[in-house]
Chains A and B, each alone.
Chain A
Amino acid sequence: MSEHVDSVKTYTAVWLILLILTGVTTGVAYIDLGAFSVVIALLIAAVKMLLVALFFMHMRHSTKLTQLAAAGAFLWLFIMMAFTLADVWTRGLVGTPGR
């Protein structure tokens, strides 16, 4: 907002980094890193997300409340994923199909 006008230089830098990261993540995808492929891809995506959120969406300057809301969204997403996966990954572990 009017109190915080970031410079075009900052925006340009962020934009270039984003483009570079897109290139990197595409390139890395062709290298076999086993299970780490997923990790790297998601890590790069997370960094890109943070860049967009912090700079383009002015998260750096926004109130604690806004930051809390955003963090809350991801916490809830995590809850949903974690508990559902907790079921899927432990199915049949007691040695009885369907339990």
Chain B
Amino acid sequence: MNTAAIETQENYLNAGYGLKSWLLTKDHKRIAILYLITITIFFFIGGIFASLIRIELLTPQGNLVSSETYNKLFTMHGIAMIFFFLIPSIPATLGNFFLPMMIGARDLAFPRINLLSWYLLVIGGAFAIFAMLAGGVDTGWTFYTPYSTTYSNSWVIATALGIFVSGFSSILTGLNFIVTVHRMRAPGMTWFRLPLFVWANYATAVIQVLGTPVVAVTLVLVFCERVFHIGIFDPNLGGDPVLFQHMFWFYSHPAVYIMVLPAMGVISEIISVFSRKPIFGYHVVAFSSMAIAVIGFLVWGHHLFVSTQSVYAGLVFSFLSYFVAIPSAVKVFNWTATLYKGSISFATPMLYAFGFIGLFTIGGLTGLFVASLGFDVHVTDTYFVVAHFHYIMVGGTIMAFLGGLHYWWPKITGRMYPENWAKLSAAIIFVGFNLTFFPQFILGYMGMPRRYHNYPDEFQVLHVLSTAGASILAIGYLFPMVYFMWSLRYGAVAGANPWGATGLEWTMQSPPPVHNFDEIPVVTHEVYDYSTVVKEGVEVG
């Protein structure tokens, strides 16, 4: 195939032109692209806030921005990154694009609802951006009452509304995925022939559907309290601020698995393709996704160890937190075992997958630190926790997201990205990341509290290291932006299956046609059966 072919061949990209053909599309692939653009914007917004945070923390005095501004910076950083970037990231882009193809469906079950959920994200995002431009919010992404309801003088209402609306975006995506996986599988596509990415997104969808409504209603209550002064959580009326924390974390702990499960799904695909072996212990890995989704709902109280929650509840939540760690550990071990006697390629997606496993392991293991009651008392609300979650969310999920983007880029666009640049930036990101966040573990144990705009002198050296790392990281993130754009025009033409991958999405042309399949395929192979692909001869792009 050549460049001319890719341009003449009918596919979802050239099926219609003009803004309207995009903004009113019901094609899950186009909606996925819309999501991709949206979340990239929010990643950059969040990243700019992060950069300002890091620059401010270069010096202990806190003399770049005022403390009020600083508080708004980390709040808006957290909100942009969590609610508008990371939660929609993998499911709504890669999931949206590939889930129907992987199970052999022409689209999601409810294409119009799919489009609606993108609009909801945009509307929610518009509220949030409005709040940011109008003056910002300073409650922290956790909105703890009574500060958020009574004492904050910032744009809490607009932001809460934005998150509320985007929450429905998340709910509808989840709903769509659940129905699609149950009702739209091609003949022969049994549950245990589903790619692990589908399992992961299915588990994620379950969390989205069961958890998100609770944070929605919690925000409604915060909203009512601010607007009508009715005081559901107001201690002056005998309300219970810790009840807010329960309701918030009932969603927000499971939400961290919304952020990591799809990433694990991506990693399962990548590890398998680039070692050309079925994932070791496929069933165990599939079930562990479901186990994480379910047990993830039983541990939220580990965010409340020092909140005046009862000691007994703390014990139960700490205990259960360790149960959720086991399925994660099992996944890591199975991925590693997949490499054994494989045929391992060092393509960029695989490098990201290695990065993910390593950094997720460190992030996850430090999760075990903070799940230990006596230890958490010392490090909660310090940079130790900040380091823990950045290791998982930035070191883990974003690595997986980038890995997945590289892996599926040829399918999405029909073009290859430049391999050497990609490898270089993966290395820069890995180094920059560790330099940014490893010092924060030490800072945290030494007692540096989080959300601090100025700090005692003895913490400075570590903060400087962290800022240096963040600069490297920022540059690392710039590279893919540039070369992905470049590849849209100049990248080598990819062909249908450049990696020699199994899976229905690789059986169709790149970029895929509008309705994916002219005829719904009948699945006869087991999942990850590479013998079929290799025998037919791998087409290398």
Interface residues of A (CB under 8 A from B): 65, 72-73, 76, 79-80, 83-84, 86-94, 96, 98-99
Separation of A80 and B297 alpha carbons in the complex (Å): 8
Residues of B286-313 at the interface with A, using a CB-CB cut-off of 8 Å, are 297-298, 300-301, 304, 308-313
For B24, the chain A residues whose CB sits under 8 A away are none
User: Can you give 22 contacting A-B residue pairs, CB < 8 Å?
Assistant: A65-B182, A72-B210, A73-B210, A76-B297, A79-B297, A83-B316, A84-B243, A84-B246, A84-B247, A86-B310, A86-B313, A87-B313, A88-B240, A88-B243, A90-B311, A90-B312, A92-B310, A93-B311, A94-B311, A96-B311, A99-B308, A99-B310
Question: Are A83 and B312 in contact, with the CB atoms below 8 A?
Answer: no
Smallest Cβ-Cβ distance to A86: which chain B residue: B313
Most buried by B among A76, A80, A87: A87
Supposing A80-B214, A80-B250, A92-B310 touch, asked if A87 and B301 sit within 8 A by C-beta, the answer is: yes
Chain B contacts of A79 at CB under 8 A?
297-298
Residue-wise, chain B 382-425 has the 8 Å CB interface mask toward A (1 for contact) of 00000000000000000000000000000000000000000000
Chain A interface SS verdict (over half) = helix
List residues of chain B with CB within 8 A of the CB of A91.
308-310
CA distance A91 to B214 in the complex (A): 23
Chain A neighbourhood of B304, CB < 8 A: 87
**CB <8 Å contact, A87 and B310:** yes
Closest Cβ of chain A to B376, distance in Å, is 14
Residues in A with CB closer than 8 Å to B246 are 83-84, 87
Q: Which of A65, A73, A76 has the most CB of B within 10 A?
A: A76
Within 8 A of A (CB), among B304-335: 304, 308-313, 316-317
- The closest CB in chain A to the CB of B300 belongs to A83
Residues of A within 8 A of B317 (CB): 83
Partner of B313 from the list A72, A73, A83, A96 (CB cut-off 8 Å) is A83
State in angstroms the CA–CA spacing of A83 and B247 once bound together.
Answer: 11
A83 B210 Cβ-Cβ under 8 A: no
Q: With the chains together, A91 CA to B310 CA distance in Å?
A: 4
Q: Check B297–A87 contact: CB distance below 8 A.
A: no
